[in-house]
Chain A
Amino acid sequence: MPKTSPEIGGMGHSVKRKEDPRFIRGKGNYVDDITLPDMLYLDIVRSPFAHATIKNIDTAKALATPGVLAVITGKDLAAYNLHWMPTLMSDTQMVLPVEKVMYQAQEVAAVLATDRYTAADGVDAVEVDYDPLPVVVDPFKALAPDAPVLRTDKEGKKDNHIWHWEWGDKSATDQAFDEAEVKVSQDIYIPRIHVSSIETCGCIASFDKINGKLTVWMTTQAPHAIRTVFALVAGHVGLQEHKIQIISPDIGGGFGGKVPVYPGYVIAVAASVLTGKPVKWIEDRMENLQADSFARDYHIAAELAGKKDGTLTALRIKTVADHGYTDAAANPSKFPAGLFHICTGSYDLKAAHVEVDGVYTNKPPGGIAYRCSFRVTEAVHAIERMTDLMAHEIGMDPADLRMKNFIPSDKFPYKSALGWEYDSGDYAGALKLAMDRIGYAELRKEQLEKRARGELMGIGISSFTEIVGAGPSKHFDILGLKMFDSAEIRVHPTCKVIARFGTKSQGQGHETTYAQIVAEELGIPASDIAVEEGDTDTAPYGLGTYASRSTPVAGAACAIAARKIRDKARKIAAYLLEAHEDDLEWEPGKFFVKGSPDRAKTIQDIALAAYTNHPQGMEAGLEAVSYYDPPNLTYPFGSYICVVDIDKGTGEVKVRRFMAVDDCGNIINPMIVEGQIHGGLTMGLAPALYEEIQYDESGNCLQGSFMNYLLPTAVETPAWETDKTCTPSPHHPLGAKGVGESATVGAPAAIVNAVVDALWHLGVRHIDIPITPAKVWKALRDAGVSE
């Protein structure tokens, strides 16, 4: 039950979004909508080869094209030591190459021109001579002793191994496996995919020579981090942090793909600094898919041990992580495999051990945290597949096996075998609700009947635990920047509010939800609260929005700052009411004297008084700032149940129903949460059935455009069914956990489990995603089944 009225619009109200009026009128302000006087355009020449020495770059024809002003190469940037820059994981990446290229579509040179069309002609006219080098696209081959060494730029590097990371008690785990009554093992490949928001990446860099100030409008989810990185990387060419402004305007979807610093941004900045003119760079879709970054690409070898009665005892995972040519993952620096060690999931596993080895290959860089916190989709895929495998192997219903092994709801805070302290959870409650809502028992009956007739129907479950809200300063930083976040709230004399944050919405509705938190805490109507994010000149420092961290971290900061304001408001109220602070009670929007409710002051009275009638000795004004260091992560969870029907003739998988029960603790705006779930589920369906990026032996990208990188339309997407349970976070000021990514994390395994469940009786044990009709057809034919 919401504590505030709908007019106030605090937590729990499905307040209509304050950002919508401009978007429904086509008056959004995305980077490519912005035009500045004298603006120039940057377009990029890209390598057709995945690995090649650059012999020569001939710019004569390009420079002779009317309207082309310059062609920038690696040699030009090298003069300023800007040809290489750090990645978010403290590896190094090329801005523009001098010696060689290391992935197909890598940036090779940049053309600066007076307009977009001329820049494209200029790119066409640049002639590059390459000497192809041997290509390595298979990470296992990359680890072979005779593999060509890719990172010849790293002095002394003799292999393609980036790092080895392991976690957990190896001997206890090995012992548990030795003693296990039942063991299941499975190799699981989670292919490369791309976030592919409908808006691609881009920027306008504008250097004001007179004032020495650089302003960059950029598609970025983390504007402050970008500003600091620019100051550190380009400080030697005169850029200073107080004279760098990053503006993240409206962003058309981020999903983690707009966190890294892409070469295009740096080249645009360099070009602007050199010319003193604004320079716009917008990647087109093929560049976006082929070059900027990627997600997943984990080769997982998982083993699960248990007893014949279905008790799970231990988990062992070895993973090879294909990072492309550089480790540009966006992970907290201590965790090169992100939060992969959440992989014991929702189960009370007593022992676990995980190892991950990062590998270089001739592919674009990354390890984007694509709507997955950090590697949580991979972790959940592994544990939920293995759990299902175990259930099928021992002949136990997968729901029963999960129920048997869930961490009981009274065991929280729960310390997992891999060291995470889960804050709260009621896994059995979520699964039970999902089973009731979908009619699980009837579906199992129907499945048996259909199977007897030779019809293929499957039911798959995914009961995931997410781990979000990075993160406590003790363990979390990106490039050394701690992962706090911030809120700065100021109440004006007429009790309207401006609230600014260190996060940056790309569609999550922060202009509405943060206002609702302030409304909840101060009783000021959400419609009276303006929310701003994204301009580093005005917003307090934060690490941005990704990994579902906004509500857990900045949302907490918002509550704390609002409470600081309320504390001061109490003092002012006491002064105005000539009462003692302790004699006052608060209800949303007003303080009143205990026992005399007519002796009251509204928050509006108090706001005005803060500027016109504040007590002597107190500073005027009514505002507060909070930089929130979360004491722990938060652990949203859920249970998803998927029903599929498989066409025996064509191999097509049809998702007949999908029930998603999510628990993200206390909810700010149910409408917005539900929208996040719908979108997240669709981003889980997509890699499960449609999306992947593959490379052939020469490093050619096979899905370099929407022709073959298959985003689901409304026809492929099921009518998602959703419900919720509510298990608040005990440590979060609002009891909220964050939810933006849960569905992307939880959904793929439910779909795979359903397909394998449909085909288990034919001897099928596993299919790697994407589960295309061609793969299903092959599995069916191998099992002797056809139409």
Chain B
Amino acid sequence: MIPRSFEYYAPRTLSEAVSLLEKLGPDAKILSGGQSLIPMMKLRLASPPFIVDINHIPDLGYISETDGSLRIGALVRESDLESSPLVRSRYPLLADTTKVIADPLVRNQATVCGNLAHGDPANDHPATMLALEAVIVAISPRGEREISIKDFFTGLFSTDLQPDEILKEIRVPTPPPRSGGTYLKMERKVGDYATAGVAVQITLDEADACLRAGVGLTNVGFTPLKAAKVEDFLKGKLIDAAAIKQASEIAAGESQPMDDIRGSADYKRDLVRVLTARALNRAIERAKGGA
């Protein structure tokens, strides 16, 4: 319940934060929402000797749509995303996702960027960002770097972020017209991590065939998974009941779940199948103009 001691820094600018990371070395950890980090520190599963608290850096809480992308700043809290009229109306997949992360209190502190930076396959935004083909913007002493989301998650709790990089912004390409998406999360109770979660983002052409599909899977592998085979399968097709059935089976096949306390691998694989089918139906409904 009590963390080990550490040295605490509260920089007032991003460049100060980045210099601190450079100076303190790889044992320094960024504190943004802290809703994953602090619980680990309290259990002494993580005891970073240096904490760099970025919460006092101004102007990082922006959610704005510019140049064809939604830009989410480093200190945007989950509840900011949840209450943003922009996100609700134009990025319903993100709105669905943020609503089921942890609980409302955690969401008031937890940051969207932090949800990605942690590299946890059990977190919910990764699958969504994979489905939306987001771009990560990292900042370091070397300047800014863009990382495509599909290259971002490199292993269990690891991302492509270097020790001296801070995840500064997420850019989500604004979906074209006739797009729709949803996130379905099976959880044992509110506040739990997903037993399995499926994010789907679909764009239809004028003839209702699939122009593009993005599918991400939560907590059924060592990393968040991009269901690329499903995406390829759906591309160009009219997504009818047969296609949905097949797509959902492919998704199940692409998942790599393990037996654990939330359920057997077989159960999770079947959940991926069931949730993918449901998510596809919903995404298509929304793409066609439904709510």
Contacts and interface: CB of A to CB of B under 8 A. Distances in A.
A208 B146 CA distance: 67
B190 to A, nearest CB: 5
Interface in A706-727: 708, 710, 712-713, 715-716
Given A124-B44, A716-B189, A774 B264 contact: yes
B178 interface: no
Contacts of A774: 195, 262-264, 267
Interface string A747-787: 00000000000000000000000001110011001000011
A735 B80 CA distance: 56
A58 interface: no
Given A121-B4, A774-B264, A777-B267, A650 B189 contact: no
B242 interface: no
Nearest to A120: B2
B186 A773 contact: yes
Given A117-B2, A774-B267, A778-B267, A713 B274 contact: no
B56 interface: no
Contact of B270 (A652, A772, A777): A777
Contact of A650 (B4, B186, B191): B186
A702 B28 CA distance: 32
Contacts, number: 55
Contacts of A284: 1
Contacts of A710: 188-189, 192
B278 interface: yes
A716 B267 contact: no
Nearest to A708: B261
A214 to B, nearest CB: 27
A264 to B, nearest CB: 15
Contacts of B278: 649
Interface string B58-87: 000000000000000000000000000000
A712 B192 CA distance: 11
B184 to A, nearest CB: 10
B251 interface: no
A702 B188 contact: no
Contacts of B262: 774
Given A116-B2, A117-B2, A774-B264, A690 B44 contact: no
Contacts of A786: 270
Nearest to A647: B274
Contact of A715 (B190, B263, B271): B190
A781 B269 CA distance: 13
A692 to B, nearest CB: 11
15 contacts: A116-B2, A121-B4, A124-B4, A124-B44, A285-B1, A650-B275, A703-B261, A708-B261, A715-B190, A773-B186, A773-B195, A774-B195, A774-B267, A781-B270, A787-B277
Interface of A: 116-117, 120-121, 124, 284-286, 649-652, 690, 702-703, 708, 710, 712-713, 715-716, 772-774, 777-778, 781, 786-787
Interface of B: 1-2, 4, 44, 103, 186, 188-192, 195, 261-264, 267, 270-271, 274-275, 277-278
Given A120-B1, A716-B189, 16 more contacts: A120-B2, A124-B4, A285-B1, A649-B274, A649-B275, A650-B271, A650-B275, A708-B261, A713-B103, A713-B189, A713-B191, A715-B190, A716-B190, A773-B188, A777-B267, A787-B277
